[in-house]
Amino acid sequence: MSRPTTNVCLIGHKFMGRTHSNAYLKVNKFFPELGLVPRMHTIVGRNEAELKHFAEEWGWAKTSTDWRKAIGDPEVAVVDIGTPNNMHREMAIAALEAGKHVACEKPLAQNLAEAKQMLEAARKARGCKTFVWYNYRRVPAVALAHQLARAGKIGRVYHIRAYYLQDWAGPSVPLIWRFSKEVSGSGAHGDLGAHVIDMARFITGDEFVEVSGAISETFVKEREIPSQGSGGGIASGAASAKGTMGKVTVDDATLFLARMKSGAIASVESTRFATGYQNRNGLEIHGDKGAIRFDFEDMNRLHFYDATAERKVQGWTQIMVTHGGDHPYAANWWPDAHVLGYEHSFINQVADMMSVLSGQPPVVPLPDFEDAYKTQLVLEAATMSAEQRRPVPIAELE
């Protein structure tokens, strides 16, 4: 029996383009209960030859090098923005004004001012749903942590420790767009810190009310500019002969301390210079009834401490979050302990997006522009705190 479809236009065909394409391609096969199925209608990019190959490889029906024309296509219902951050605002607002649903990569925008414009456009666009790709919410262990916290298993939260540690950005890495403030808005802080800020908010249901202090550092001040067309080309299109050096204009690492609305305190660390950690995205949340800890490098496990248990048996419980009858999303995948990977979080998100668009609830809440704007507030407050060396209340920015 055929099911209703919705046409998707995806802008961007590099790293995120591949992850999103894979999700659209696979979701119908693993979530057959969905009331709405995405149809891979148009893929958008700048290089026509690359686009044609990508479309054939991943199953997109059409290609376009004109994103405005693609967004305006009356057949398109959902616009998915997988570009560098400097394009999010313009594309999202254009799509919303055209009456399209919008899914946007994170962080929502380069800065708070652009994020606010996107939020205002979303509020005006009645009937248009917005989604933001904070895909780690869709990791079963993180979704389970959310469910445990909302069920009161952690109790009153005292302390949040959130961290995202990578080590790929050594001096030999060229000046790709991620090192340009003009294109990305920020470095490790916006790219990595945004994810763990979102996870902390998502799991606890609590909100940041103050960044009490922050520090930011750029360890490598200059990098080699790759030649035009090289694998590490600058997304803004700047060209130079290989060997020419350019200035890094974003942070390599940012750390900050914060206070939450509930009275809990938090520490957040994001860095691309944590030698030995390829993708250690994690957090610990400690409360009066229990605690949880999660590390994406061991993504199929959630650690839970039940402080209400008899003292002689208290200890950290390691939960393999793969049991279909009990764990979020697991029933749509494999038998117990047949583990999932990074790509499954995107497939799970597409499934939840399709559920929302068909009038059904997601497994766990999806971030929309309203939600993602709150994370952008925290990012901005931490940046200001590091630059001005002072506490920054979130209310100061609202």
Separation between Cα atoms, residue 355 and residue 8, nearest integer Å: 15
Residue 196 neighbours by CB under 8 Å, 6+ apart: 162, 163, 164, 268, 270, 281, 282, 283
pLDDT tens string 280-320: 999 999 999 999 999 999 999 999 999 999 999 999 999 99
Tell me the pTM. 0.94
pLDDT tens string 137-160: 999 999 999 999 999 999 999 999
Q: Which of 132, 154, 181 is the last residue of a domain?
A: 132
Together in a domain, 72 and 198: no
Residue 91 structure tokens: 């594309």
Overall average pLDDT of the 19-31 stretch: 98
Overall average pLDDT of the 59-75 stretch: 98
Separation between Cα atoms, residue 108 and residue 86, nearest integer Å: 10
Pairing of strands 5-11, 78-81: parallel
Tell me which residue of 59, 296, 263, 285 sits closest to 154, measured CA to CA.
285
pLDDT at 235 (0 to 100) = 32
Together in a domain, 125 and 162: no
Separation between Cα atoms, residue 35 and residue 162, nearest integer Å: 36
Separation between Cα atoms, residue 228 and residue 54, nearest integer Å: 20
Q: In 10 A of CB 237, how many CB atoms? A: 10
Residue ranges making up the domain that contains 33: 5-132
Number of independent structural domains in the chain? 2
Separation between Cα atoms, residue 135 and residue 120, nearest integer Å: 23
Residue 364 predicted with pLDDT over 60: yes
Together in a domain, 36 and 119: yes
pLDDT tens string 316-345: 999 999 999 899 999 999 999 999 999 999
Together in a domain, 169 and 22: no
Domain with 380 in it: what CATH number?
3.30.360.10
pLDDT at 344 (0 to 100) = 98
Q: Which of 76, 108, 132 is the last residue of a domain?
A: 132
Together in a domain, 165 and 296: yes
**In-domain check, residue 191:** yes
Together in a domain, 241 and 381: yes
Q: Which of 132, 163, 198 is the last residue of a domain?
A: 132
Percent of the chain with pLDDT over 70: 96
pLDDT at 362 (0 to 100) = 98
CA angle 182, 188, 189 (to 5 degrees): 85
Q: In 10 A of CB 159, how many CB atoms? A: 14
pLDDT at 242 (0 to 100) = 65
Residue 391 predicted with pLDDT over 80: yes
pLDDT tens string 210-268: 999 999 999 999 999 987 544 433 233 344 446 789 999 999 999 999 999 999 999 99
Rg (CA), the chain: 21
**In-domain check, residue 22:** yes
Together in a domain, 118 and 257: no
Pairing of strands 265-271, 253-260: antiparallel
Together in a domain, 48 and 149: no
